[in-house]
Structure 1
Amino acid sequence: MEPVLDLSPGAVDAAASAAAVRADLPDRLPHDDPDDLVVLLDDDHRPIGTAPRHGVHGTDTPLHLAFSCYLVDGKGRVLLTRRALGKRSWPGVWTNSFCGHPRPGEDLVDAVSRHGRGELGLEPEAIRPVLPDFAYRAVDASGVVENEVCPVFVARTSDDVEPHPDEVEEHRWVDVSDLRETVRVAPWALSPWLVEQAAAMEEADAWHVLAPDETETRP
């Protein structure tokens, strides 16, 4: 995977230091916790600072770093989740397995693992990038803006899903072909980032990345 961010040597050192400090933080932090930060980016996708996660999304959301992940089981089914009704943006909308924000200095793969544990109660495995350069901007009906550089990952799991109620209202395993057809006929029923990611995967001919591993399908 090519680096998602163009960090200078000094920024790399600072990021490594920050990662060491944050290694002992729990998967989920209380609302308004001072360590619950997102990484702000400039137009060239380079980090320029941080902001509290709980307040960064509004009607003028600055560009910041996030990620999306698609979880696949041994049958090649992908996990879709319905966002909790209490979510500030796009409440109750069906979307990909989970999304999140890496903390300052946190490796993206580590962030995917952390959010898998915190949001779905499972351990993502074989995490790999599928759309490392994906970015999008979307505005929901209430005016809240998403403005993210959002690398997309695929991961495997054989664990049971135990979703956190603050994050997930419902969940469902679906065939990849059914997901692609839903995006085609009913994009309005899905999150805008899922729809844009699906279009990007079509363009890159990347849906095969979600196919089951050979080792999972052998008798």
Structure 2
Amino acid sequence: MEELVVLVNPQDNVLGLMEKQQAHINGVLHRAFSVFLFNEKGEMLLQQRADEKYHSPLKWTNAVCSHPRNGETYLEAANRRLKEELGIETELSEKFHFIYKADVGGGLWEHELDHVFVGNFNAEFNLNKNEVAAVRYISLEDLDRELAENPDNFTEWFKIILAEYKHHF
């Protein structure tokens, strides 16, 4: 099934739909969401992207990030992808949104109006191996150290979104 993204202007007014990979080639602004999950120790969940992903394979990133479908709210999409990728459900709250553009290599761009959600989760995962190679929790201090020492191990958008998250909290 062809996956479409919702093209928007900076005010989040819908401009149309475009096939996902084409939107990433063209670098056009589209709707997206990112989910940060934390455990009871305050550690952040990282997801390692599956090897089959068409960009940024095996790189570490936040718990879930994707695109709402046409007619789907940002929260509905975030909950759908939690279930599809990690096999879980948890309460999420939207914290902020912003626009960013990142070169993800291979002639592809992420140019997204990104709504960032936060939640807590302390149980088992049922990973979709087509989407996720591995998950792990990490303290923010250890994450900062890993990002400084091995920035290429992480997705470009995660670095941007994490910096924006820290700016807000």
TM-score, length of structure 2 as denominator length: 0.89
- Letter paired with 1:48: L
Identify which of 48, 61, 81 aligns with 2:15: 48
CA contact (8 A) 1:67 1:153 kept: yes
Identify which of 162, 166, 169 aligns with 1:202: 166
CA contact (8 A) 1:86 1:166 kept: yes
CA deviation vs aligned residue, 1:2-32 (integer Å, no higher than 9, x gap) = xxxxxxxxxxxxxxxxxxxxxxxxxxxxx32
- Structure 1 stretches of at least 4 aligned residues deviating more than 4 Å after TM superposition: none
Supply the RMSD in Å over aligned alpha carbons.
1.8
Bigger proportion of residues as strand = 2
CA deviation vs aligned residue, 1:30-78 (integer Å, no higher than 9, x gap) = x32xxx43211124432111123354322x1321000110111222221
Based on CA coordinates, which of the two structures has the bigger radius of gyration?
Answer: 1
What is the aligned length? Answer: 169
| Aligned counterpart, 2:106 | 142
d(CA) in 1 for partners of 2:87, 2:14: 30
d(CA) in 2 for partners of 1:181, 1:138: 22
d(CA) in 2 for partners of 1:100, 1:193: 11
d(CA) in 2 for partners of 1:176, 1:142: 30
The percentage of aligned residue pairs carrying the same residue is 31
CA contact (8 A) 1:183 1:198 kept: no
Instruction: Point out where structure 2 has 5 or more consecutive residues left out of the alignment.
Output: none
Q: Report the CA distance between 1:172 and its aligned residue.
A: 0.9
- Letter paired with 1:129: E
SS of corresponding position for 1:140: strand
| Aligned counterpart, 2:94 | 129
TM-score, length of structure 1 as denominator length: 0.71
CA contact (8 A) 1:41 1:47 kept: yes
Pairing of 1:19-98 with structure 2 (within 5 A): 31-32=1-2, 36-53=3-20, 55-58=22-25, 60-98=26-64
Instruction: Point out where structure 1 has 5 or more consecutive residues left out of the alignment.
Output: 1-30, 207-219
Distance 1:55 1:163, change over 3 A: farther
CA deviation vs aligned residue, 1:150-176 (integer Å, no higher than 9, x gap) = 111111223311211111112111122
d(CA) in 1 for partners of 2:139, 2:118: 15
